[in-house]
Structure 1
Amino acid sequence: MKKTGKAVKAKDKASGRKSVVEHLEELRKRLIISIGSFLGLFIVFIILPGFSFADSYGARLMKFIQGYMLGNIKGAAALNLVFLDPLEPVFTVMKLSALATLAVLAPLFVYQVYAYLKPAFTRKTSNYLFVLMLGFEIFFILGAVFSFCLLIPASFDILIRFGLSTGALPSLSMGKFFDMFFWMFLLFTLPFELPVLIGVLSKAGIVTRKMLTKIRKPVYLGLVIFAAAVTPDPTIFSMSLLSVLLIILFEFGIILSYFFEKGEN
Structure 2
Amino acid sequence: MSENRGKKLIDSLKRKGESLEAEMSFFDHLEVLRWHLIRSCIAIVVFTGVAFSYYDFIFDKIILGPKSADFWTYQFMCGLAERFNLGADYCIKDINFNIINTEMAGQFTLQINSSLLMGLVLGFPYLLYEVWRFVKPGLTDKERTSASGFVFYATMLFILGILFGYYVIAPLSITFLANYTVSSVIQNQITIDSYLSSVATLTLGSGIVFELPILIFILSKIGIMTPAFMRSSRRYSSVIILIIAAVITPTPDILTMLTVSFPLFILYEISIMISARVERNREKALMSRD
Larger radius of gyration: 2
Find the residue that maps to 1:84 and give its secondary structure.
Answer: coil
The one-letter code of the counterpart of 2:59 is M
CA distance in structure 1 between the partners assigned to 2:184 and 2:63 by the alignment: 24
| 1:53 counterpart residue number | none
Alpha-carbon distance, 1:141 to partner: 0.3
Q: Alpha carbons of 1:24 and 1:187: their partners in 2 closer, same or farther (altered >3 Å)?
A: closer
| 1:205 counterpart residue number | 223
CA distance in structure 2 between the partners assigned to 1:134 and 1:252 by the alignment: 16
**Number of residue pairs matched?**
249
Does 2:49 correspond to 1:43? yes
Does 2:132 correspond to 1:126? no
Does 2:81 correspond to 1:75? no
Alpha-carbon distance, 1:98 to partner: 0.9
| 2:262 counterpart residue number | 244
Give runs of aligned pairs for residues 122-161 of structure 1, distance below 5 A: 122-161=140-179
What are the Cα deviations for residues 108-148 of structure 1, in whole angstroms up to 9, with x where unaligned?
11111111111111011123333344322111100111111
Alpha-carbon distance, 1:215 to partner: 2.3
Contact 1:212-1:254 at 8 Å conserved across structures: yes
CA distance in structure 2 between the partners assigned to 1:87 and 1:75 by the alignment: 30
The one-letter code of the counterpart of 1:75 is D
Pick which of 251-260 and 35-44 moved more.
35-44
CA distance in structure 1 between the partners assigned to 2:158 and 2:129 by the alignment: 15
Contact 1:155-1:232 at 8 Å conserved across structures: yes
CA distance in structure 2 between the partners assigned to 1:153 and 1:38 by the alignment: 26
Gaps of 5+ in 1: 13-17, 49-56
Find the residue that maps to 2:99 and give its secondary structure.
Answer: strand
Alpha-carbon distance, 1:45 to partner: 3.0
| 1:58 counterpart residue number | 55
Alpha-carbon distance, 1:158 to partner: 2.3
CA distance in structure 2 between the partners assigned to 1:120 and 1:236 by the alignment: 50
TM-score by length of 2: 0.73
CA distance in structure 2 between the partners assigned to 1:216 and 1:75 by the alignment: 39
Alignment RMSD, CA only? 3.2
Find the residue that maps to 1:32 and give its secondary structure.
Answer: helix
Q: Alpha carbons of 1:44 and 1:68: their partners in 2 closer, same or farther (altered >3 Å)?
A: closer
TM-score by length of 1: 0.79
| 2:30 counterpart residue number | 24
Does 2:233 correspond to 1:215? yes
| 2:211 counterpart residue number | 193
Contact 1:26-1:116 at 8 Å conserved across structures: yes
Gaps of 5+ in 2: 1-9, 72-91, 285-290
CA distance in structure 2 between the partners assigned to 1:222 and 1:120 by the alignment: 37
Contact 2:101-2:107 at 8 Å conserved across structures: yes
Alpha-carbon distance, 1:190 to partner: 2.1
Find the residue that maps to 1:23 and give its secondary structure.
Answer: helix
